[in-house]
Amino acid sequence: YNPATQQLVYEAAADFIIKRSETREMVEVTHQGATHGWSAPAAQHTDGSAASFNGVSILVTPGHDLYTRAGRANAALSSVTWNKKSAAFGKVKASSVVGGDQRAAFQFLGNAARGVQHDGTAPAFVAQLGLSTSAQADAFLEVYGHWLAHGSVEATDVDGSVHAVTWSTLAQVDIAWLVSMFGVLGLRAHSDNGADYCVLGAEQGASVVRLTSSTLLPFFAQATTKCVDGSTSATATKAFGDWVWTLSAAHAERVLRGVRRAGGIVGDRIATSSTTFRDDVARLALHAGCGAAFNARASAGYTVTCRDTDASPVLVQQRDVRTVSYTGRVWCATLPHGFLVARRVAKAGDGVVTNASCPVIVGNCKTMATPPKGVDDVFAAVAVLLAGVHKGVVCDKRGKVKDKDKTWDAAKKALLTDVKGFMDQLMAFKEAVDTMKVPEGNWADVRPYLELSYFNPDAIRSKNSAAAGLCSWVVNIEVPSA
């Protein structure tokens, strides 16, 4: 959060849960009257009471930055006296709001009034769709938001490309609205399947609008598994396209407006059974300059609350903050400068990425003069694997890495002098394996490291998180190749 501009600014990520089964200690900030915000959809209030909500529901790593101001609650936890010396909002680590004084309180700034920071460049979709007016841009974004909340992929071609998308709704007022929005975009209503889109009438009690425009369909392509069968499962995929996160705050608000217009919305609340969609709606609201939080519904799924006004609730440690163990993905994490993220990818013949591993962390190790036990072995193993592949790794005439070049100082110099080049080599290594460009002896030379009792990501993580990411890379790149 940039207080000078009242905008959100993206920073690189610091920590990842590499495996969905991995458990981490997290800091949860959620009002005690609300159901655990990250629990199963069917979770109920323990006292059977109705939901009480103060606008905050977050789960972050202990090192995550919160934007708060501090104070202390009275004995009844009903009022707070703010610290005069620290009256202004500022960044604090999430770990600082747990432990110690149970009456410690803080006010949490839950959104940025001007949304996400944007460089002012024209959005790519305007040129790609040939839109000539702001009204057309707004119409497309609202229609897209409505589809995200209340639409599906009707069919896909054999190659997985989107063939058509549909909007299904019981409300004729929504049909009329969709027709008018498509009219702004220059699309006409027809009754035959060859048209750009058509109103089909009743299908299982719902009115359906089908879109087959080859120009518009690519913007829906990232959600090809989005509720194809109309599933209401909490695990159903409802994914925003990556292009949405490049929009300005004003354009993000248009997408949010479309989501709100769709069914199941009461005031500023958006109901969903999809955890992915829940998180994306909350993120979209922050992009648009709105406050956002979610809570589990008594029946099933979640309710996301999006407020157009500033969200600045007051929380008390004893009542609202706790440390919890969490297993699963984490989407809010902070990364100090110097870390890099690498993924192994598989590419088709045309260069399109068809599969990718979970991300691993590299970098931020070169500042250590003497590494903890095990970290040096990780870097030595990486150097052995990259022998003959990475120009920074020194090899003898046989293509082997000498013992003196496996030491911490030598490996650090060979691998981390050019961190970007090192990352590029990690990302390209799988292709080098597939094309037989990795010397055969590298696999035999790395095996002694893999047999060390402490050579595993969990053991190394307690020493250094970046080295743990590299350890995971070595283990996972070697096993299939062996």
pLDDT in tens, 68-107: 888 899 998 888 888 877 667 777 888 888 887 889 888 8
Span 311-340, pLDDT tens digits? 567 778 887 787 877 665 444 444 333 344
Contacts of 168-172 with C-beta under 8 Å, sequence gap 24+, read: 168/203, 168/206, 168/207, 168/208, 168/230, 169/206, 169/207, 169/262, 169/263, 170/205, 170/206, 170/207, 170/263, 171/263, 172/207
Adjacent-strand bridge partners of 327: 23
- For residue 26, the one-letter residue type is M
> Measured between alpha carbons, how far is 408 from 418 in angstroms, rounded to an integer?
16
Q: What is the pLDDT of residue 192?
A: 43
Per-domain residue ranges for the chain?
23-110+312-327, 128-298, 339-481
pTM for the predicted model, two decimal places: 0.56
**What is the average pLDDT across 11-27?**
59
Cα(227)–Cα(274) distance, rounded to whole angstroms?
A: 10
Name the superfamily (CATH) of residues 128-298: Homing endonucleases (3.10.28.10)
Q: Mean of the pLDDT values across residues 227-232?
A: 41
pLDDT band at 207 (very low <50, low <70, confident <90, very high): low
Mean pLDDT, residues 259-263: 79
- In this predicted structure, what is the pLDDT of residue 87? 66
pLDDT at 449 exceeding the cut of 90: yes
Share of the chain above pLDDT 70, in %: 63
pLDDT in tens, 283-302: 888 888 887 766 666 556 67
pLDDT at 189: 56
For residue 339, which of 12, 10, 24 has the smallest C-alpha distance?
12
Return mean pLDDT, the chain: 71
Per-residue pLDDT at 473: 84
The highest-confidence range among 64-68, 296-300, 411-415, 448-452, by mean pLDDT, is 448-452
> Measured between alpha carbons, how far is 341 from 194 in angstroms, rounded to an integer?
46
